[in-house]
């Protein structure tokens, strides 16, 4: 490559402050460098993405006085995929007086992540959780309330307390609109400039620091240069590598992947969350899958028939004694609220045994019969009305009358850019927040924790850590870099060449981006999905290489380089193909099962995930070595000073 | 991955094609066979686009993202109705089973002066952002706030605020309104904050600035035709418009507002 790629210096420093766990964040804040108010206006910060993390960060940094440039691919900052989160947001408020605390939220998250997350980050997340609720209420987020006027709570998987706050089944929407409104307030004040319809295609490094980005205007096709003093990537996860997922159509890995190619290490790429309750795949035409919120498992009971021959029967005709409520049976203390990875695997097992239901046999029942009998249909409608309606629209079946059919689907990616305690990647001045980073969820995320992390990063971490970065490097950063700098020149040239190449190949080939993409999705789902084996992963790498070759030589594309959704898809697919290779490599390398990563070679006698803490209690941070080449792994050991690593049991 | 319902149908499509904002547009007709009745409407359009690419033609540009009715990105006039013939649903929540075998389906972009067409079925709805910018927030900054339970909000008020806050900003209300008024959109935000105590401090400034911005963007006035409510995928009530008008009137005549805030024009 012609321009600056930052070779990794070989040292992964998490930068966690010394001292007791509960004092680390205070200690960071007490020792951080500040930027005086008059100087803040001299700095500009680029924030890419306007979901919970990006929207909250952009608004909060602007409130501090920095000049913020906010980028999103949509027409409006309000449409980021955080909006689709349904069930809720966790916080250790302990309003129900049921024994919750910051410690317990921390502990549940560490355990839920199967002891593969960094203690200090998770503790800070639990500490920030209570401020998030106060912040959102101050913004006018209409959380569900009791008749007393107080906030309502419900429970979620992996917890035995009720700590989840919600706004009907649209919690993500309401939290995002809260962050969006805060952002628009700053746009009105002139502190944030919005750049909608922009896709980030490269990070520009000048003298070893992130000083800008290259974007493409998705309407006009223009390639643009934007300079700043720090860059925040809050561009979400990469679940769309599976083609079929609950992620939005335009969710993609491109921004973080391009940063990775520039030198930012990629953490734990094989940690993917497969959500247990999604509407099953119905055919090859499908472009995406729909989630049914985990909150439904508060009242719905999961079951399959005990006998294979009952699978095609009308479920209402199957008597109680012939039903296997397998989660209640296998995990009596958590029952239907077992964590996502465990519930998903249990559903897969039931279907693999031939006891799946529905046309394809790849579904289990989520049944509300008993809850409706107990609480009445009106109460269930009040709690989940919009989800039931959504299910009805898609499947043409009425879940008040007949059980829902559900199956696991890709939902969230715990992996992402490796970041230190300050959320800085291995590229100085480049930060990653929300789902785009690898940080807080270890090998499995608990329900209602993504919203918490996105807002914690955006409202309550980055405003401090970006300030610390700017303050620390003030002398250098106050010498402004402009977009005429040769680094911008060459990055733009590379971006243009990449698009041109796709357009050129696209004139000659025969397979559309969607056709190749669908094939990639199948490989990744079957071989880097719910169960992974050495053989399957090796096959996956070979198949991915073939698809890469297909993409390079046989792509079919029409239209121009202006508004062209298929051109966008093709560009993102190029990155997904490379990412898929890395995921397989990471999954091969991690010869243990943990959380969402299940290696069939590493399981207990009763089929549970078998961790290997002696060899694998580390974060795998991967260094890019070129297209089609194997990446190099660097390891950040995970040191547990406060919790004892134990077998994660929900029995 | 077998289909749950393999019943298929044939459709004819009449779709608005337009190269760019200033280019003239026209309808073009297409036919598709073997469409699964369980397909979503947008998956049917995906199928059409795959076919067009294979034929060497430029695919039809349309917007969608979450495909579960919450992001507000999809925005098609289908058979003359915003988001199509099913009430309380976005375009992405429309299924082919709502159409007849062989039906000629007309698909257009939102039509409103304030929403210029960018290409084919894609319109520029940034005018909504500018209305939001004028006052759709409480002004609370990031930082420590009173404990969330220090503000008690009666359940019925919280529920009504949530009803209004459920707006997804898709613009169907504008597209359905013969006046291309954005009153339903604007009033939903105004009402959310008028109901909640958190919105009271800047209540007057908010409604004046948002309504003024709506007018500046070139949206029409509300004449109570109720088309917006019928088209709204989230069933936002036109009662919100009545509340907005009341809020606007109260703010406009209030002496303390005029003394404190100066001109009603927020200068956005």
Distance from the Cα of A636 to chain B's closest Cα (Å) equals 32
pLDDT bucket at A2, cuts 50 / 70 / 90: very low
A340 an active-site residue? yes
Return the minimum-mean-pLDDT range out of A438-452, B111-125, B171-185, B251-265: B251-265
In a domain, A343, yes or no: yes
Among B142, B164, B200, most A C-beta atoms within 10 A, so best to mutate, is B142
pLDDT bucket at A485, cuts 50 / 70 / 90: very high
The H or E element that residue A121 is part of is: helix A119-138
Do A405 and A524 lie in a common domain? no
* A401-428 confidence digits (pLDDT tens): 999 999 999 999 999 999 999 999 999 9
Percentage of the residues of chain A whose pLDDT score is greater than 70: 99
pLDDT bucket at B64, cuts 50 / 70 / 90: very high
Parent domain of A593: 487-612
| A150 Cβ under 8 Å from any chain B Cβ | yes
Distance from the Cα of B79 to chain A's closest Cα (Å) equals 19
In a domain, A364, yes or no: yes
Taking the C-alpha atoms of residue B196 and residue B184, their distance in angstroms, rounded to an integer, is 18
Question: A232 pairs with which residues across the strands?
Answer: A47, A431
pLDDT of residue A282: 83
CATH code of the domain in which A312 resides? 3.90.700.10
pLDDT bucket at B54, cuts 50 / 70 / 90: very high
Tell if the CB–CB gap between B2 and A283 is shorter than 8 Å: yes
Q: Which domains does chain B have, with CATH numbers?
A: 8-119 (3.10.20.30), 126-261 (1.10.1060.10)
CB atoms within 10 A of CB A630: 12
B-chain residues within 8 Å CB-CB of A181?
132, 136-138
Tell if the CB–CB gap between B67 and A288 is shorter than 8 Å: yes
In a domain, A585, yes or no: yes
| A406 Cβ under 8 Å from any chain B Cβ | no
B-chain residues within 8 Å CB-CB of A285?
36, 39, 43, 46-47
B-chain residues within 8 Å CB-CB of A290?
67-68
Do A284 and A394 lie in a common domain? yes
In a domain, A326, yes or no: yes
φ, ψ of residue A126 to 5 degrees: the values are: -65, -35
pLDDT above 70 for B16:
yes
Distance from the Cα of B53 to chain A's closest Cα (Å) equals 6
pLDDT of residue A384: 87
| B74 Cβ under 8 Å from any chain A Cβ | no
**Is the pTM above the cut of 0.80?**
yes
> Of A343, A376, A411, which marks where a domain is finished?
A411
CB atoms within 10 A of CB A118: 24
* A348-386 confidence digits (pLDDT tens): 999 999 999 998 899 999 999 999 999 999 999 988 888
Tell if the CB–CB gap between A283 and B4 is shorter than 8 Å: yes
CATH code of the domain in which A536 resides? 1.20.58.100
Distance from the Cα of B77 to chain A's closest Cα (Å) equals 19
pLDDT of residue B80: 97
φ, ψ of residue B265 to 5 degrees: the values are: -75, 115
pLDDT above 50 for B4:
no
Tell if the CB–CB gap between A138 and B138 is shorter than 8 Å: yes
Comparing A152 with A5, which gets the higher pLDDT?
A152
Reduce the secondary structure of chain B to three states and give it as a string: CCCCCCCEEEEEEEEEEECCCCCCEEEEEEEEEEEECCCEHHHHHHHHHHHHHHCCCCCCCCCCCCCCCCCCCCCEEECCEECCCCCCCCHHHCEHHHCCCCCEEEEEECCCCCCCEEECCEECCHHHHHHHHCCCCCCCCCCCCCCHHHCCCCHHHHHHHHHHHCCCCCCHHHHHCCCCECHHHHHHHHHHHHHCHHHCCCHHHHHHHHHHHHHHCCCECCCCCCHHHHHCCCCCCCHHHHHHHHHHHHHHHCHHHHHHHCCCCCCC
- Tell me how far CA of residue A372 lies from CA of A299, A334, A382, A458, A595, in angstroms: 9, 21, 12, 39, 33
The ipTM is 0.95
> Of A361, A387, A411, which marks where a domain is finished?
A411
Mean pLDDT of A538-545: 98
B-chain residues within 8 Å CB-CB of A78?
72, 129, 132, 169
Domain count, chain A: 2
Task: State whether residue A555 is helix, strand or coil.
Answer: strand
pLDDT of residue B5: 54
Are the C-beta atoms of residues A496 and A201 closer than 8 Å to each other? Answer: no
Tell if the CB–CB gap between B95 and A151 is shorter than 8 Å: no
| A379 Cβ under 8 Å from any chain B Cβ | no
Choose the catalytic residue: A124, A163, A168, A340. Answer: A340
* A43-94 confidence digits (pLDDT tens): 999 999 999 999 999 999 999 999 999 999 999 999 999 999 988 999 999 9
Mean pLDDT of A119-145: 98
* A176-200 confidence digits (pLDDT tens): 999 999 999 999 999 999 999 999 9
pLDDT of residue B266: 40
pLDDT above 70 for A174:
yes
Taking the C-alpha atoms of residue B179 and residue A32, their distance in angstroms, rounded to an integer, is 55
pLDDT bucket at B258, cuts 50 / 70 / 90: low
* A635-650 confidence digits (pLDDT tens): 999 999 999 999 888 8
In a domain, A170, yes or no: no
* B85-119 confidence digits (pLDDT tens): 999 999 999 999 999 999 999 999 999 999 999 99
Distance from the Cα of A262 to chain B's closest Cα (Å) equals 28
Distance of CA A348 to the CA centre of its chain: 22
Q: What is chain A's mean pLDDT, rounded?
A: 95
Do A404 and A528 lie in a common domain? no
pLDDT above 90 for B1:
no
Mean pLDDT of A286-296: 89
pLDDT above 80 for B257:
no
Taking the C-alpha atoms of residue A420 and residue A439, their distance in angstroms, rounded to an integer, is 8
Mean pLDDT of A552-566: 97
- Tell me how far CA of residue A606 lies from CA of A226, A349, A600, A602, A610, in angstroms: 55, 12, 12, 12, 10
**CA closest to B161 among chain A residues:** A142
In a domain, A327, yes or no: yes
In a domain, A407, yes or no: yes
Are the C-beta atoms of residues A218 and A196 closer than 8 Å to each other? Answer: no
pLDDT above 70 for B2:
no
| A385 Cβ under 8 Å from any chain B Cβ | no
Return the minimum-mean-pLDDT range out of A276-290, A482-496, B33-47: A276-290
> Of A411, A426, A456, which marks where a domain is finished?
A411
Return the minimum-mean-pLDDT range out of A5-9, A289-293, A311-315, A598-602: A5-9
Tell if the CB–CB gap between A396 and B147 is shorter than 8 Å: no
């Amino acid at each position: 490559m012609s321009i600056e790629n930052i070779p990794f210096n070989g040292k992964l420093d998490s930068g966690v402050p010394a001292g007791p766990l509960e004092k680390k964040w205070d200690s960071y804040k007490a020792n951080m460098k500040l930027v005086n108010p008059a100087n803040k206006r001299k700095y500009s910060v680029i924030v890419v993405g306007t979901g919970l993390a990006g929207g909250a960060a952009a608004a909060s940094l602007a409130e501090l006085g920095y000049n913020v440039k906010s980028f999103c691919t949509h027409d409006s900052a309000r449409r980021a995929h955080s909006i689709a989160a349904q069930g809720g947001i966790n916080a250790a408020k302990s309003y129900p007086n049921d024994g919750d605390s910051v410690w317990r939220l921390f502990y549940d998250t560490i355990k839920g992540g199967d002891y593969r997350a960094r203690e200090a980050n998770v503790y800070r997340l639990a500490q920030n959780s209570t401020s998030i609720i106060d912040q959102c209420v101050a913004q006018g987020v209409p959380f569900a309330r009791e008749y007393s006027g107080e906030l309502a709570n419900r429970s979620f998987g992996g917890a035995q307390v009720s700590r989840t706050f919600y706004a009907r089944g649209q919690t993500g929407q309401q939290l995002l609109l809260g962050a969006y409104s805060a952002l628009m307030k700053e746009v009105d004040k002139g502190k944030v400039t919005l750049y909608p319809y922009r896709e980030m295609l490269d990070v520009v490094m000048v003298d070893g620091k992130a000083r800008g980005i290259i974007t493409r205007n998705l309407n006009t096709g223009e390639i643009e240069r934007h300079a700043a003093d720090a860059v925040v990537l809050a561009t979400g996860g990469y679940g769309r590598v599976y083609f079929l997922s609950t992620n939005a159509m335009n969710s993609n890995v491109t921004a973080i992947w391009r940063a990775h190619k520039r030198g930012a290490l990629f953490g734990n790429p094989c940690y993917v969350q497969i959500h247990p309750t999604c509407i099953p795949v119905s055919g090859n035409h499908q472009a995406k899958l729909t989630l049914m919120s985990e909150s439904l498992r508060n009242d719905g009971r999961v079951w399959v028939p005990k006998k294979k021959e009952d699978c095609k029967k009308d479920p209402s005709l199957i008597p109680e004694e012939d039903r296997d409520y397998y989660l209640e049976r296998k995990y009596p203390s958590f029952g239907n609220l077992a964590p996502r990875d465990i519930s998903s695997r249990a559903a897969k097992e039931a279907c693999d045994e031939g006891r799946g239901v529905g046309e394809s046999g790849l579904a289990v029942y989520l049944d509300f019969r008993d809850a409706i009998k107990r609480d009445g249909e009106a109460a269930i409608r009040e709690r989940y009305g919009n989800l039931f309606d959504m299910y009805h629209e898609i499947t043409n079946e009425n879940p008040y009358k007949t059980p829902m059919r559900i199956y696991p689907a890709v939902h969230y990616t715990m992996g992402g850019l490796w970041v230190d305690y300050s959320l800085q990647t291995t590229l100085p001045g480049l930060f990653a927040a929300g789902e785009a980073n690898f940080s807080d969820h270890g090998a499995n995320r608990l329900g209602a924790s993504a919203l918490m992390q996105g807002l914690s990063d955006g409202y309550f971490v980055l405003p401090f850590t970006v300030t610390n970065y700017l303050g620390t490097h003030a002398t250098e950063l106050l010498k402004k870099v402009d977009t005429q700098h040769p680094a911008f020149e060459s990055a733009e040239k590379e971006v243009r060449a990449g698009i041109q190449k796709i357009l050129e190949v696209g004139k000659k080939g025969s397979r559309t981006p969607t056709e190749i993409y669908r094939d990639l999705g199948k490989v990744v789902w079957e071989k880097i999905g719910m169960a992974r084996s050495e053989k399957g992963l090796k096959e996956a790498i070979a198949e991915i290489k073939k698809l890469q070759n297909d993409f390079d030589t046989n792509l079919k594309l029409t239209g121009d380089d202006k508004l062209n959704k298929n051109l966008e898809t093709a560009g993102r697919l190029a990155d997904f193909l490379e990412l898929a290779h890395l995921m397989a490599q990471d999954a091969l390398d991690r010869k243990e099962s943990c959380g969402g990563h299940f290696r069939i070679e590493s399981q207990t006698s009763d089929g549970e995930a078998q961790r290997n803490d002696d060899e694998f209690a580390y974060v795998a941070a991967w260094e890019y070595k070129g297209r089609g080449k194997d990446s190099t792994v660097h390891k950040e050991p995970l040191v547990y000073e406060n919790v004892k690593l134990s077998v994660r049991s929900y029995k | 991955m077998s289909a749950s319902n393999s019943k298929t149908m044939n459709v004819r499509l009449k779709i608005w094609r337009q190269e760019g904002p200033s280019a003239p547009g026209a309808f073009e007709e297409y036919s598709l066979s073997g469409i699964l009745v369980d397909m979503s409407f947008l998956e049917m359009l995906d199928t059409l686009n795959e076919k067009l690419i294979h034929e060497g033609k430029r695919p039809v540009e349309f917007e969608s993202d979450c495909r579960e009715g919450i992001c507000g990105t999809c925005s098609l006039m289908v058979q003359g109705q915003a988001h199509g013939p099913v009430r309380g649903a976005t375009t992405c929540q429309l299924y082919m089973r709502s159409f007849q075998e062989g039906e000629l389906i007309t698909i257009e972009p939102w039509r409103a002066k304030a929403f210029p067409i960018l290409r084919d079925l894609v319109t520029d709805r940034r005018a909504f952002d500018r209305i939001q910018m004028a006052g759709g927030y409480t002004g609370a900054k990031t930082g420590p706030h009173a404990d969330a339970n220090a503000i008690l909000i009666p359940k019925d008020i919280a529920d009504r605020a949530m009803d209004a806050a459920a707006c997804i900003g898709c613009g169907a209300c504008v597209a359905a309104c013969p006046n291309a008024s954005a009153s339903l959109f604007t009033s939903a935000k105004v009402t959310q904050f008028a109901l909640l105590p958190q919105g009271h401090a800047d209540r007057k400034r908010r409604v004046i600035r948002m309504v003024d911005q709506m007018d500046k963007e070139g949206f029409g006035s509300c004449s109570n035709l109720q088309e917006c409510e019928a088209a709204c995928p989230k069933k936002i009530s036109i009662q919100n418009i009545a509340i907005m008008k009341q809020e606007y009137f109260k703010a406009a005549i209030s002496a303390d507002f005029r003394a404190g805030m100066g001109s009603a024009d927020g200068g956005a």
